[in-house]
Amino acid sequence: MSALAPPAPGRARLLARGSSLLRARELSLFILIVLVFGGTTLKNHNFASANSVQQLLTGAALIALLGVGETLVIITNNVDLSVGSVVGLSAYLVGMVFKHNPNFPVLLALALGIAVGAAVGAVNGLITTVSKVPSLVVTLATLYIIRGADGLIVNGHTIDPEFIPKSFQKIGYATFLGVPWLAIIVIVIVAGAGFAMRSFRSSRDLYAIGSNPEAAELAGIPAAKRVFTAFLVSGSLAGLAGALFLALHAQIDVTGGKGYELTVVAAVVVGGVAIFGGSGTVIGAALGAVLLNTIDQALVATKVSPFWNLAIAGGLLLLAIVFDRWLSLRVAKSLQSAEGAHHDV
Amino acid sequence: MVDPASAAPLLVLHEATKRFGAVHALVDASVTLYPGEAHALLGENGAGKSTLVKILAGVYQPDGGSLLVGGEPAVFHGPNASRAAGVSIIYQEPTLFPDLTVAENIFMGRQPLGRGRVIDRAQMNGAAAEVFARLGVRLDPARLARGLSVADQQIVEIAKALSLKANILVMDEPTAALTGVEVERLFEVMRTLRNQGAAVLFISHRLEEVFACCQRVTIMRDGSFVRTDPIEALTVSDIIRSMVGRDLESLYPERTSDPGDVVLEVEHLSREGVFDDINVTVRRGEIVALAGLVGAGRSEVARAIFGIDRWTSGTVKVNGKPLPNGAPMAAMAAGVALVPEDRRQQGLVMDLGIDQNIALASLGRLKKFGLIRRSEETGLARTWAERLQMKFGRIRNPVSTLSGGNQQKVVLGKWLARKPSLLIIDEPTRGIDIGTKAEVHRLLNDLVSDGTAVLMISSELPEVLGMADRVLVLHEGKLMADLSGSEATEDAVMRAASGLNAEAAA
């Protein structure tokens, strides 16, 4: 009987607490990042140089940014595979504008990228919520369609650095107090989204929808509206990421952003977002992106064949999923033994 | 308490209709709720109670009829509109978000906000703790809902409804998963609410609860209103007649017991931390009931006997031969069948056909050269569907299209098709309407007369007393009493189940 139950034993209580569980995930990711970073530095002292750390942050920034939108979508038990294609499209369109109009304002260029992504996100969200087709299929289709359209627009041309204004390129390489601007933009967005996902009713709705869709309907949560918004945000951030991609690389061809979608999903899942929705944080996803990128760079720094990179990313992914499964079984078990205590009173 | 006769009704649903395609779920449903009353809504499964509840919840929009709330015509376009009108619903199946905290589950969509429309978690947890205090339960508002027992989940649902401060509370079988003490506490909360002028619409298959806590009763049949009467004017048989539409001789068949050879012999069976030193014998032609409170370890004993869980010490013999530990296939081969408590999760493959489900445990017998022919499955299934008097559209339709009672018959048919010598059946009639209940009971009786041994687990005391030749009572994993049919009275079983008469244990 719950009425007479003693407080659950300490560990079960700790594990059962949602926030501490998530915090544990973020902490272990952070420790892993530090370990990889420290270990690599021991072998190659240059790894800890300011330049190298800046590279680490810049390299993870775009995936972390895409991870914010992807997290929102995955939490509702959907997935957005179109983000890689959106990055390419948005980067190319912004590049075209600069080519024809070298004095185009930087902020407006970013806004244009966001608008392009938002349009795609709206289409994804609309098809998914109205036709109730699994988003895996919808966004796989838009992935191909956009990549194809991109090819037609680009038509074999590339946009080269001479067309990109220096003021725009600066976002990619300039730093503020030693931190790359690109990383600052992404950190601000991640922090803002992290706060929002904890604190607003509408964002808690996203968790509810992914956790139990039927209960969400009974609770009067406007599920379609919320899922649509998640896709809209994911698309918009992918559009922004496209503009930033252009600023970072200062050139774009038809392959820009190709394959990003899977890297993002991997980072998000490694970051502790449940693939079937309901739990996870934006900050965890961002840390997942940083971890994958740190490993990537560590392999370069220690002169290990870069082919190991993919295998390690895959291994981490499996580890993350197995760890989550193990953890949830453990939580269930310790909760059950606490339940047992209920009945024994 | 408010006198129902003098007050204006809080809610009137008049001649509501609702169709789903060709199916008329509601033909003419009416119910009137007065302030200060607990109003029972009764009817068999499929009578339209759940549809009516969902109309009041704003989940379904009626096709016809009228709805008045506080005398004003009302239209509920969605759950939020219903909630805003002061209606609060406790659903039959708990509908929680496992990944969110208990407090968030209670306040989903209406979390207390602080500055800048930011959720104030401290206030939210405090408010949840307050509701729990009112209910007299201790649950941590900040823990995740995942892993809560069904009873605790139901308590969260009740807390959710209470926190809404609704003046119309609809409860769709809230007590199905609760134990005696919790049910008592729920009734107390109902009384408090009624005294504050709220109306409670109470749905339950347990008539004794209806008599214990309700003032008026509305009965439905086949989507239509049958009658509304004060509870004093009705007897149990009046109610059953109105629900079923015909006279039902009795819920429990006349039983003559003539036990034969021992089929199941369980000696000193223990599973560490779950149950301890259990001795059970079941003979041919005998029904032995395992009684006890939820969590006493009854289902766990059954699972260990069947080999799903391993035991730590003791022996299990079937027809004289010992069963290996933790081997369900060996138990099946020895002639043991287990009909689990949770049909949907453990007993049925919901998307497969009725025929495929019935044939599932007999595939070894049906296969030829390693292949199964669908027509053989269908043939076997037809035999049992007829014997069990199942109601279905086509035998190849998915099981998910059947009502709860017919689903239970499919699970039964699946195991009976193997002609078991020992049938272990866990909660044979949970969530089944009264007409089907009587049928299941008659069926068990037929099986026993044909020489099958039955070990039955049931939380419904009348069922235990009405059906069993012997009653074994568990309390906290220990066998408290072994009562013969004549010794097994309501009082004796309840005392043993509460662990009171250790000295009287056999």
- What is the SS3 assignment for B38? strand
Integer angstrom CA distances of residue B337 from A5, B266, B290, B302, B415? 36, 16, 16, 10, 6
> How far apart, in whole angstroms, are the C-alpha atoms of residue B342 and residue B348?
9
pLDDT at residue B503, as a whole number: 45
Q: Are A230 and A237 in contact (CB under 8 A)?
A: no
Q: Is B137 within 8 Å of chain A by CB?
A: yes
B94 vs B337, more confident: B337
pLDDT of residue B6: 62
Taking the C-alpha atoms of residue B88 and residue B82, their distance in angstroms, rounded to an integer, is 8
Q: Give the integer Cα–Cα distance in Å for A136 and A265.
A: 12
* Mean pLDDT calculated for residue range B468-476: 90
Q: Is A344 on the interface with B (CB under 8 A)?
A: yes
Q: B424 pLDDT band (50/70/90 cuts)?
A: very high
pLDDT tens-digit map of B22-80: 667 888 899 999 999 999 999 876 678 888 999 999 989 999 899 999 888 988 988 88
Compare all CA atoms of chain B with the CA of A12 and give the residue at the minimum distance.
Answer: B143
pLDDT in tens, B181-238: 778 878 888 888 888 889 999 998 778 888 888 999 999 988 889 899 999 998 888 8
Comparing CB atoms, the residue among B83, B119, B140 nearest residue A201 is B119
Q: What is the rounded average pLDDT of the residues A332-341?
A: 53
Mean pLDDT confidence for A143-163: 87
Residue pair B398/B390 in contact by the 8 Å Cβ criterion: no
Return mean pLDDT, chain B: 85
Whether A19 contacts B197, CB under 8 Å: no
Q: Report whether pLDDT(A233) > 60.
A: yes
Query: How far, in Å, CA of B16 to CA of B8, rounded?
Result: 20
Question: pLDDT of A60-94, one tens digit each?
Answer: 999 999 999 999 999 999 999 999 999 999 999 99
Task: Label residue B406 by pLDDT band (50, 70, 90).
Answer: confident
Q: What is the ipTM of this complex?
A: 0.81
CB–CB contact A220 B119 (8 Å): no
Residues 152-211 on A with a CB inside 8 Å of B are 198-201, 204-205, 207-208, 210-211
Q: Provide the β-strand partners of residue A72.
A: none
**Burial tier of B26 (Cβ tally within 10 Å: 0-12, 13-18, 19+):** buried
Report the pLDDT averaged over residues A101-120: 93
Mean pLDDT across A321-339: 66
Q: Alpha-carbon distance B276 to A179, whole Å? A: 64
Which residues, listed in sequence order, are joined to residue B275 by a DSSP beta bridge?
B271
> Which residue, among A19, A75, A218, would best test binding to B if mutated, counting the most B CBs under 10 Å from its CB?
A218
**Mean pLDDT of all residues in B353-380:** 84
* Whole-number pLDDT of residue A73: 96
What's at A40, amino acid-wise?
T
Instruction: Find, in chain B, the residue whose alpha carbon is nearest to that of A214.
Output: B95
Average pLDDT over chain A, rounded to an integer: 85
pTM over 0.95: no
Closest CB to B147: pick one of A215, A331, A343.
Answer: A331
Task: Say whether B91 sits in a helix, a strand or coil.
Answer: coil
Q: Tell me which of B504 and B297 has the higher pLDDT.
A: B297
Instruction: Decide: A61 and A53 in contact? Cβ < 8 Å.
Output: no
pLDDT (tens digit per residue) in A234-271: 999 999 999 999 999 888 888 888 889 999 999 999 89
| Cβ(B46)–Cβ(B407) below 8 Å | no
Q: At residue A339, does pLDDT exceed 70?
A: no
Inform me whether the pLDDT recorded for B502 exceeds 50: no
Tell whether the model's pLDDT for residue A3 goes beyond 70: no
> Residue A307: how many CA atoms within 13 Å on its side-chain side?
1
The predicted-structure confidence for B252-286, as pLDDT tens digits, reads as follows 777 777 788 999 999 999 988 788 999 999 999 99
CB A169 within 8 A of CB A161: yes
Tokens coding B298: 């009854």
Instruction: For chain B, list the domains and their CATH numbers.
Output: 11-96+148-244 (3.40.50.300), 249-335+423-433+453-506 (3.40.50.300), 343-419 (no CATH)
Compute the nearest-CA separation of B427 from chain A (Å). Answer: 19
Q: Which DSSP string corresponds to B102-158?
A: HHHHHHTT---B-GGG-B-HHHHHHHHHHHHHHHT----TTBBSTT--HHHHHHHHH
- Confidence (pLDDT) at A16: 45
CATH numbers and ranges of domains, chain A: 2-344 (1.10.3470)
Listed residue (A72, A29, A30, A40) closest to A228, CA to CA: A72
- B/e letters for B428-455, b = 16+ CB within 10 Å, e = fewer, are bbbbbbbbbbbbbbbbbbebbeeebbbb
- Helices (H) and strands (E) counted in chain A, each on its own, are 14, 2
Q: Do B79 and A199 touch (CB under 8 A)?
A: no
Q: Band the pLDDT of A334: cuts 50, 70, 90.
A: low
- Which percentage of chain A shows pLDDT scores above 70? 88
Look at residue A141 and tell me whether its pLDDT is greater than 70. Answer: yes
C-alpha span between B345 and B361 (Å, rounded): 16
Token pair of B40, please? 């029972």
Contact in structure between A160 and A262 (CB atoms under 8 Å): no
How many whole angstroms separate alpha carbon B49 and alpha carbon B125? 34
Any A CB within 8 A of B80 CB:
yes
Q: Residue A335 has what pLDDT? A: 57
Q: For position B315, what pLDDT does the model report? A: 92
Whole-angstrom Cα distance, residue A135 to residue A124?
8
- Tokens at A293, concatenated: 């990128």
- Plot region of A6 (φ>0 → left; ψ -120 to 50 → alpha; else → beta): beta
